[in-house]
Structures are given as C-alpha cells and as structure tokens.
Amino acid sequence: METDEAQRVLPFQLQFDKPVASQIKIAEWNPEKDLLAMVTEDSKILLHRFNWQRLWTVSPGKSITSLCWRPDGKAIAVGLEDGTVSLHDVENGKLLRSLKSHGVAVVSLNWEEDGQMTKDEQGSISTYEDRTPHFFPPPPRVPRMPGLVSGDTGFIDDSEDSFRELSNSSQQRFNILCSGDKDGFICFSIFGIFPIGKINIHNFCVPTPLMDTKAECRLQNASVHKVALSKDLCHLIVMCSGELSEDRKESENRSMTPHGVHGLHCTVLDTSIFWKRKNELHQVAQQASNIEELVEVIRASLSVMHKQWSDAMHIFHEKFDSLSNLIIDNGLDSCPQEEFLSLLGGARTSPAVHQFLVNSLGEVGVKRVSKAVCGAGKELQLIVLNHLQPAAEIIAFRMGELRGLSRWRARYQGIGLDEALINNATEKAGMILIQVERFIRVLSTVVQQFSNFFNWLLKCIKLLMSEPSDHHLLLYNSELVVIFLKFLYDQDPVKQLLEASEAGDHIEVGLETMQRVKELVQFGGFSDFEYLQRTLAKEFQQVESSFKEAFLMPFTTISRKILCGDLLPLCPLPPSSASLSSTIPMSVSYYEDASQSISSHQSQHMLLDYISFQIPDDSFSGVSNCIGIVRGFMHDSISVKRGYTSLEAVIIESQIVLLLNETTATSESSGNASMMIVQANDLPFVSISRSTGLNYWKLHQLEDSVVHLQMENEKVRSIPSLCYCSTGSQSSRGVACVFAARKRALVYILEEDEDEVSDAE
C-alpha cells in the first residue's frame, strides 16, 4: 500500500536552487512578467527573473510588512512598519512615491483594477483624455541641488520617465490600491498615488443577521489581516480579528455587552461607489494627483532657491561685515553706507575704507563675492523659468479644469467636488502666478544692482592701488550705486520673498496700489485683495492649504459612502492570541461564477468569492488540523437582507493537508512536504445558516461534514524539502493560496482544466 501511494506522489522538477543570505518572508509574482519580488527577514526587497537573475535590491530602512504589484506589473507597493506605503519602479527599484496613510504597520495590500472597460454609445472603449499635454510641454521635474550627483537628493532624474508614466493615469484602467493596518484602518488610493478614502472597521455597526433588528454587531480592538477588493471594485472583503460585541438599540438608551467574543471574523464592505463613479473619480484623480506632484516641484524649488540665495548672502556679509569693525577701530562715527557714499562723491578716502578695500577685500575678494551673488541670482532665475513658473502655470490650468467639473453638480457633487472650495483654490493658483512674476522682477533688479555695485568697487580698488585702469572693466552707474547703498546694502528683498516665517511675510504696498486692487474685485479680480502684501513663500502656504481643503472633501465624501455590508464570525480565538491571529494562513480570492448568465447588466455580479483560512486547533472541540473554505459571502450579504442565506462552507481535514511538512511521532526535524491540488467545484460545500447570537460560530455545525482528503484520490506532488514559508498570487487562471508557516497548511484552489493539470504532471 505504501508503494502504491508513493507512486502516486509525483515529485516536482527542480528548476533552480540558489541560496539567499536571509530567510524569505514574503514573495509575490509579477502579474505580467516572469519576475518574482521577495522580502527577506532583514527587510530587503529582491527582484529576480525566473532564471534567478537578480535585477535589483532595495532596502527601505524600515521593516517591510506587506507587498503587492500594480495590476500592470510596472510598479510595486511596499507596506512598512511605520504606516508608510511606498511605490517602487519595476525597472530599477527607485522610489516613486511615498504615502503616510497609516499610523501603524501596514499588514495587507491589495491593488485591483477595473475589470471592465467603459464603452460609449458607439460601442468603442471610452477613456478619459487629459487635455493638459496639448497646451503645455512636459511638466517640470524637481530641481536638483547644485553640486550633488544624480541620486544624492532622492529627486527624480530628468532622464527617468517612471513617475511620469505612473501619474499618467489617462493611459491606465481605473485602479484602486487598498491597504490595511494593525489598528483596523483601511485606506484607498486611486492609481496608488491619490488618497480617496479611509475607514475604521471599529466604527461599523452591522445589524444582527435576520430578524433581530434591535441589536447591532460592533468590532472592538480589531486588527486587519487581509484585504481583497473584487475585480468589479464593488466589494471589499476584510479578514480581521477582534472582539465582537452586541450593541442593543433601546428606545431610551443604548447598551453594549461588557465582554465581546474574541475571534477571527470576515467583513464585506460595500465599495460600489468606486464602480458607479469611476469615470468621475478617474478625472478628479488625474488632475489632483498631477497638481499635488507639481506642488512638490514648487516646494522643492523654493527650498533650493532659499538655500542658494542664503549661501550667497552669507558670503557677502562674511566679507563686508568686517568694514563695520574697521570703522569702529578707527574711531569713526559713521556706517559702511556713508563711507561708500563719501568715496563715490569724491571725498577723501577714510583709513577704514582704504584698509578694507585694499587689504581685507581686494580685487580677488570682490570677484569672488560677485561670482557667488550674481551666480546665485542666475541659478534662481533658471529655477524660476524651468521649474517654478511652468509648475505654477500648469497648476492653474488643471485647477481650471477641476473648476469646470465642479460646476457639473449632478455628477461631481456626489463625490465631494465642492464648487466653492475649488473656486477658492483656483483663485489661489492665480495669485501664485502673480507672486512668481513679481519675484522675477525683484530678483532681476537686485542682481543688477549687486553687479553694478561690484563693478564700481573694482574700479575703486584699481584707483586706490594706483594701478592703471583695465579697459575690460565693466561700466557702472553712479545713481544705481546710491540706490543700492540706501536700500539693498543691509536689506534683502529676495530673501524676504522666500521667507515663510511670520516675522518677515508682510510686504509694504502703497495705498494707491491697494486701492486699485480693491477696485478690480468688482471687475472679476481676486476677492482676496491683500495678496500683494504676502511673500511668495507665504502665498505658497496658502495655495497648499486651499488645495488640501479642496481635495479633502472628496476624500471625506467617499469615506462616508463605503459601508459595511455584513460580518461573519469564522472561529473563536483565545484572548491572548494576538500574535497567533497574525500568523493564521488565510486567503481571499474571486472567480467567475459559471452558474450565472453573462450579460451586460449582470456583469458586476459574476464574481464568486472564496475565503480560505486555517482553523486553530483549539477553536472547536473535536476539530483539529483543518482548513475552512467559505464561498459566496459577498452575495450572502444581499441574501440576508431578503431573509435567506446563500452562504456555503466546507472543512477539509487530512493527515497530510494539501501542503504540510511531514513529521514523526518523536521528531520534527526531518521529512518532506507534499502539495495537493483540489478542484474547488468538486468540494462538497454545505449551506450554513446565519445566527442571531454573537457566540454561536456556525462553522462548528460542519463538524459532521468534515472532508477527509485521501492522497490516492487527489493529484499530489512531492516537494523534496521542508516548507518554511510560501506565498502565492492570483494568476490569469485563478490560483488562490494561503500564507504558510512551518507545520501549517497551505490551500491551493485551482480553476484549471483537468487536461491542463494532467499535462503539467
């Protein structure tokens, strides 16, 4: 008998075997290419081809807790222990975008795209066209700090188009990135870069199933373990653990059971707002995500400009402040400006000025300071022309597009695109353009004044040193020297415009100018007529604040429209099993339901969900070494409201369960593993009823229906080593599997044809 059984266990053919320096804890196949992304115990991301060629290695610097691919395989999302979700380019692993959406570890990621393309009345595929590229050149990049090589700043190189392709959502199907954390929060991002919703499963109340309408179920101290969005984007199934309490609604007061039932639960959320309003959300996300990226360009531009100009002014004052000390040492009662004006007027040169110009500063010192200040001015002008101004112009255009959409209240008010907030943000975008124009004029004037002053100083030094005049010296204007000494020598209008502090953000504007600005309001001018009194940096702060306020409204609106449809208690857990629940193998998969007719109006109901999980041995008496598979929970939430249930479940048990390490009675150190392939349609699912009580776990009624799998009756492959950890991802044929740890089971549910499986063996 053992010989016959051994003959039926076919071994896998080992293709590649290569040691890795650290143990692999997460692995995900690319959905489009032969690429395998792996996460090691020391939190490094390794990308390998099928032939085991390593393409790149990335270390985020924090512990990696989850991983998933973008549906087209061009980017990978990484969840970190600090609540950050980072996106990396598949080509080189470069960081494309980071979102700090959570406060604790992101334990589950799921990136799903709309499985159906929208068609117009003529039957052709309808895509949203972004008009901005028709009127503007490619958007500017973040400026790089001078003196740093590529990659030192973390900014994106001009030669790299990865992020531009990531944010070019007009060429993508509508997709949603879902992320869940240990505190029960679930976040949603359109295209992985534009946050559109956030919910807390603690806040959901679900009516107790069937007849008891005076009681509601509420999860407390819940932790998310897995999130899975359906391909039609209408439902999100969440696997979580926590205490399930009963909240009774009485006529006068509300009461909650003092002690909940701690266990593993499954909830289904109604996310149909994503499917119903995907066209509107696509357009808003397209504009808003690009605006946010351009806002980062302006922020970085202002930061680089402020640093460059501050460094140049530091060099200027480092040299010229010594003149004040020389004036005091010589006992003179004057200031540097007066001494320079006397020199300009032809008066006798004071010993302090002579010593400063000839000994302290010199011709070399003037040229050095002139190069630093004028060079910084030119760099600032280039940043404004190549980065700051183009970004502000494109932002204004995109805000105009959003303003037009917001006026279509019937379609866009329902997703939170508020017309008043968008109008305010559009006005602020116009103000930043005016501030940029003013800054260009001020910067040009200041640089010209400095250059003229330095040319005059070079002429003076030549005369004081009795050297012949150099015909190559640039000419200077005496009147401009006077203006510089009176208004610019000890003042810095450029730095003032770049300062964001409250102390230096007020610009003096004439009363006549302010009166004219007020009069323009009646003719369609800016309603906030005090914008000229603000600095460029302060105006940017107001622009950023108005954008956040405008984009927060869709975020809040969509969050409120994500509702809890149903909650299913799966199995009880010991109160002290917080660490145990995080290691329970589980999986949520969606497959086409062949029993339903295929039609356009039923297309969103063609998917059938399979929820697989390992049942802890101490959950039910008499049930051990079992795996539960629940089918149809997503549709059951609709059936319960109609007074009946369509939920089906099955428990699978065997001495060797699908994927399990062999052990002996005396030792666990040796043995092999086997993988069993089970056809989901062949499993004897049993319909289970829904309870009105919290402490009645319906899977317990399946004890008498446990399926004992026999090795000789199934397709089995031998794995010539122990299985320490394994993961899987859904392929085009629909493979679902569960995370596995040592000595724990792993379920594979395949929807392949029998012939294909036989050929593979």
In terms of domains, do 693 and 647 share one? yes
Q: How far from chain centre, in Å, is Cα 291? A: 15
The predicted pLDDT at position 165 comes to: 56
In a domain, 350, yes or no: yes
In a domain, 97, yes or no: no
| Residue numbers in the chain where pLDDT is lower than 50 | 1-2, 5-7, 124-125, 148-160, 210-212, 250-258, 504, 597-604, 640, 642-644, 654-657, 659-661, 663-670, 692-695, 713-714, 720-761
The predicted pLDDT at position 543 comes to: 94
Model confidence, pTM: 0.80
In terms of domains, do 542 and 627 share one? no
The predicted pLDDT at position 163 comes to: 52
φ/ψ of residue 557, rounded to 5: -65, -45
- 151-159 long-range Cβ contacts below 8 angstroms, 24+ apart: 154/95, 155/300, 156/94, 156/96
Q: Are 236 and 209 in contact (CB under 8 A)?
A: no
In terms of domains, do 390 and 478 share one? yes
φ/ψ of residue 407, rounded to 5: -75, -10
In a domain, 331, yes or no: yes
For residue 373, give Cα distances in angstroms to 214, 310, 336. Answer: 75, 10, 19
Element (H, E) at 552: helix 536-560
The predicted pLDDT at position 505 comes to: 58
In a domain, 693, yes or no: yes
Which are the contacts of 750, defined by CB distance < 8 A and separation ≥ 6? Answer: 677, 678, 679, 680, 733, 734, 735, 757
In terms of domains, do 462 and 330 share one? yes
The predicted pLDDT at position 8 comes to: 52
In terms of domains, do 395 and 289 share one? yes
In a domain, 488, yes or no: yes
Rounded distance between C-alpha atoms, residue 690 and residue 698, angstroms: 7
In terms of domains, do 316 and 461 share one? yes
The predicted pLDDT at position 110 comes to: 95
Q: How far from chain centre, in Å, is Cα 57? A: 21
The predicted pLDDT at position 658 comes to: 52
544-581 residues labelled b (16+ CB within 10 A) or e (exposed) = bebbeebbebbbebbbebbebbbbbbbbbbeeebeeeb
In terms of domains, do 549 and 636 share one? no
In terms of domains, do 541 and 658 share one? no
In a domain, 214, yes or no: no
In terms of domains, do 552 and 589 share one? no
Q: Are 377 and 450 in contact (CB under 8 A)?
A: yes
In a domain, 484, yes or no: yes
The predicted pLDDT at position 463 comes to: 85
Rounded distance between C-alpha atoms, residue 210 and residue 213, angstroms: 8
In terms of domains, do 542 and 620 share one? no
In terms of domains, do 545 and 636 share one? no
The domain total for the chain is 2
DSSP state of 534: B
Of the candidates 365, 381, 361, 392, which has an alpha carbon nearest to the alpha carbon of residue 308? 381
The predicted pLDDT at position 167 comes to: 58
In a domain, 673, yes or no: yes
In terms of domains, do 296 and 420 share one? yes
Which residue range(s) make up the domain with 647? 585-594+607-720
